[in-house]
Structure 1
Amino acid sequence: MRSSAEAWKRINNTALHCAGRTGPQYHNTTGCQYLSRYSFSENFLKERRCLSSLLSEQAATSLVTMSELTDLDSVYITTVLEDTVDQLAILGKIMPQTFEGRPDANEMVGDEIGKIIDSQKQLESKYEGLISKRAELRAGGRKGDANHLRATEEEISSVVGGIRHATQTFSKSLKQSPLTSDNLGKMQGDRQFLQDVLSEAMDEITLEKTFMSLIQSVTAERDKKAELQNTILKEEEGRKRIRSLQRQIQNVKVELEEEIQQRNEMIAHLKDQLQEMKAKTSMEGKYVQKDAEVAVNQVQKRCMLSEKQLKDEIELIKKKIDEEIRVNQEIEQYLKAHQSELEEKVDYWMEKYDKDVDQKTHQLEVLKASKASDLARLQELTKLYAEYEQVVVEDRIDKEKIRRLQEQELEELKSTVKLQSWWRGIMVRRQLGPYSKKKKKKGKKGKKGSGKKKGKKKK
């Protein structure tokens, strides 16, 4: 119950903030002063969105905590909503249709623009102070200045955002006047919508102790807003698409114009080439005609010269034929004159041939006979040579045997001498045979006997 009361207290405060103030402060406020406070429809829309979001949050909380309101809560809420609806109705009555043409219109707009300019100047002065502070912190280089520098950077970014927003608001206020009938009509529509929603919610709370119509209105408005947002997005996409297509069309137009220009330039170039070709063709035709005439004249002259040369050659050939006939007759007479002489020479050479053949045949027979005798002689000499050669070989063999026998005897003699020398040396060294020591004569027998014994022992 306590959370529900606090929620509806917040709803009451929000509704009062959106519709105006209560008490003597509200009753002393004229329509112009109230309009001056809400001169821009954007502020009213912002507060309407704030109310819708707050109503949706509190309604969801109430639905979770309880299904129906108690009688005391419904009375409290009905009282607050009734007061809010009355204030919205009064606001709708006191607001004019338009401020255009009124003497204080420029003053109201000027006040709003002055407030915007003052707020922008304050932001600019704050921005300059933050910039100088940041420069001091950077120049100090002390410990702990990093956090202050970071905080200063964040403040600078927020101030820059505020300056940007103020500039946009100022530009909008300069582009569109808030005192036109369209803006005031829009404000009246928003006020009427809020009045109808709160009236319907008040009736439902009074009769059924619920506020589903308020939730449904907020949901419907949210859906409508989402649909409007989607429509705006689609329209923006369509505009972007249209701009893109327009750019493409413009590019295509430019390309077509460039292509047409290139085609025109090509056509002009081809026309120039055609004119040049026509002039060149006419000149070439004239040149070819003259060249053909000159060639025909040259051929005629060459034919005439060739004909003259051929006639001269014919005359020369006729002269040569006559000369050849004369030479032939002279040669024929010469050959007839020498034919008898040649016949005699042929007879002579025939007889000489026969004689030479007989002579050479006889010589050939003589040579054959001498060849046979020489062959027999050669065979005899060959046989004799073989016998002599056999005798020589046998003599050589005998001499070789004698030589080997002599060498063998010489070797045996040398070996014998060596053996004798070796044996003599052994006998000398061992004192054998004639080389043995001679025995000495002894005076006494006893000594001789002892000498014999000693000799025996040595042996």
Structure 2
Amino acid sequence: MISTRRKTAESVPWGRLSETIARNGCLRERDIYVEDMRNYRLPYFKACLLATILEDVIPQLRILDACNTELRFIKTISAMDVLLADKFGVESQKTQNDINDIDLKNIHCMKYKLDKLQADRDFILQVLTETYKNLCIERDFQSLTDSVTQIVQKDENLHSLAEVERTNRMLRRESHKQLRQQRNHIKSVCYESNSEIEFLRLHVEEVLAKVDESMVKYEKDIESIDLKIQIMRNYYETMQNKNQLLEETIKEHAEFMKNWITFKDDREAARKHCEIMNNSAIIVQAWWRGLLVRKQLGPYKTVKKKQTPSKPNDKSKKKK
């Protein structure tokens, strides 16, 4: 199944997505094409060419961001209040969403424009970096297509939000009319509710007194728990120090045993070497001495005895 999808993705040109959407407006064909493109792999040569282009573009974008001193200066001036607050340790109110920090009355100020410009640059750099990684590793551009679909979805969401805003404006106008009517009704009801409010106020005071008593008890309990925690923390620190000392002694003993074993191995190797050399020397000496004895050389050489000449008179005497 995957091989057939790859073949279809290779045979189909890259502009098929826009053609099918413009021609038929069918989401099913777009989903099938996107699924085929996820299994599509570029040839190695094309992937390398695109990767080298992105490899040149990414440093240029980073250099452009790092060398634009004028933009940094303007951004620093626009964010001077925040920087001064950070410098002097003034705590700023933390918000969970950046939209809450936007001043709608001053929406066209330089600070918001610079933030938008920096966010767009970071997004482009992130998309190019992820595309470069996919080209180098997977030989595809899945991250680029995902980013494009994300942008398209964001535009669709913005259009839907614009439509919702129009409807909300109409609803707000109608709600203002109803609010005026309710306001007149509330004014008449307020006089009746004052007595009830007074009764509830007394009840709230009683509840607050009970809450104060529970808070005092809570503080006492917290103090006792903190004391127990401090005792356990000190005990843990002492045990941890003992553990460290034991680990150090174990390491020292292990190092000593390792040195002793290496010393014994070296000594045994030296002894065996000396024994082998001694045996070899004995064998050579025995062979040499045997050779001298067999060849009668050196100190084992035979000496010829000199023959003494016999006297003739003695011979004649012996004959007689």
| TM-score, normalisation: structure 2 | 0.28
| Structure with greater Cα Rg | 1
TM-score (norm 1): 0.21
